[in-house]
């Protein structure tokens, strides 16, 4: 049984159908990169899995249970945590307070304050700084750390590198490797294809709301993934 299973999922923004008949499965311990151009439907798919957006059709199962109609906070309690695009920290709270808020109602597990700080060492020197005063890289590290404090079974990361300086992206991805080494299950939405392929065990490409490529990262050439990304050729088409 897969940890996360999405079947024939549709999601809309008013008259716009952003996700069209998407089916995919995520296995425990998998690092799944979801790539695609702006407007492909990646963020809507992630938000729908997390419970922040209501699907119009299809189902989402987590660890065998149907969570399609479940509120987002209930999904967090089950072990689905999302780091949204733009981080969305409590900007008036310190880094330490942001982490503690998430940890207050967390599931049992190995992630606590010390483990987050070990995995994201750039946070140790800014624990008392407010979220709104941090650099982009520090904010992203805090947002990921906050999600980890809930002890998720699957971590949904939306646009990790968006708006960050290259050195900050390097720091965040270095820390993510620590998380991955601990056996995490991650769904990573990323526009920067090279970054995604360096860490992912599996890759899928979305185009116009559909999955048009899905497989192990070693099964495709960079050229095949790029062609699917821009809609030049459909490889392993679904739905």
pLDDT tens-place string over residues 103-142: 776 688 889 999 999 999 999 999 999 999 999 999 999 9
The predicted pLDDT at position 236 comes to 47
- Are the CB atoms for 69 and 60 separated by under 8 Å? no
The predicted pLDDT at position 62 comes to 97
SS3 category, 213: strand
* C-alpha–C-alpha distance, residues 172 and 164, integer Å: 10
CA atoms within 13 A on the CB side of 146: 25
The predicted pLDDT at position 93 comes to 95
* Longest alpha-carbon distance in the chain: 50
SS3 category, 98: helix
Q: Over range 43-66, report the average pLDDT.
A: 97
The predicted pLDDT at position 54 comes to 96
Q: How many CB atoms lie within 10 A of CB 202?
A: 19
Q: Over range 154-162, report the average pLDDT.
A: 93
The predicted pLDDT at position 239 comes to 38
Q: Over range 191-198, report the average pLDDT.
A: 87
* C-alpha–C-alpha distance, residues 195 and 217, integer Å: 12
Domains and CATH numbers, the chain: 4-229 (3.40.50.300)
The predicted pLDDT at position 105 comes to 67
More confident residue, 3 or 194: 3
- Are the CB atoms for 227 and 196 separated by under 8 Å? no
Model's pTM, two decimal places? 0.91
For residue 77, pLDDT over 90 is answered with: yes
The predicted pLDDT at position 238 comes to 44
For residue 235, pLDDT over 70 is answered with: no
Under DSSP, the state recorded for 94 is B
Share of the chain above pLDDT 70, in %: 96
The predicted pLDDT at position 8 comes to 98
Contacts of 114 (CB under 8 A, 6+ apart): none
Q: Over range 213-236, report the average pLDDT.
A: 85
More confident residue, 191 or 174: 174
Instruction: Name residue, tokens 């992203």.
Output: 140
Annotate 6-27 with b (16+ C-beta within 10 A) or e (fewer): beebbbbeeeebbbbbbebebe
Residue 78 pLDDT level (bands cut at 50, 70, 90): very high
Which tokens go with 36? 């695609």
Arithmetic mean of pLDDT over the chain? 92
The predicted pLDDT at position 11 comes to 98
């Amino acid at each position: 049984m897969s940890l996360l299973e999405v079947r024939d999922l549709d999601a809309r923004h008013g008259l716009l159908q952003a996700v069209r008949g998407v089916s995919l499965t995520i296995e425990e311990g998998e690092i799944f990169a979801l790539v695609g151009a702006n407007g492909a439907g990646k963020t809507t798919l992630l938000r729908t899995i997390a419970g922040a957006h209501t699907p119009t059709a299809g189902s989402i199962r987590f660890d065998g249970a149907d969570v399609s109609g479940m509120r987002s906070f209930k999904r967090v309690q089950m072990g689905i945590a999302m780091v949204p695009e733009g981080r969305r920290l409590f900007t008036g709270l310190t880094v330490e307070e942001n982490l503690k808020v998430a940890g207050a109602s967390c599931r049992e597990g190995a992630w606590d304050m010390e483990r987050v700080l070990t995995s994201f060492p750039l946070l140790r020197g800014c624990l008392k700084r407010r979220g709104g005063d941090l650099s982009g890289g520090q904010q992203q590290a805090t947002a990921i750390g906050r999600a980890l404090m809930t002890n998720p079974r699957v971590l949904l990361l939306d646009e990790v590198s968006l708006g960050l300086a290259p050195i900050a992206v390097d720091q965040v991805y270095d820390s993510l490797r620590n998380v991955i080494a601990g056996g995490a299950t991650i769904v990573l939405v990323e526009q920067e294809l090279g970054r995604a392929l360096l860490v992912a065990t599996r890759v899928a490409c979305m185009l116009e709301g559909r999955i048009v490529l899905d497989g192990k990262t070693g099964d495709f050439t960079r050229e095949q993934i790029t062609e699917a990304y821009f809609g030049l050729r459909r490889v392993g088409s679904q739905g």
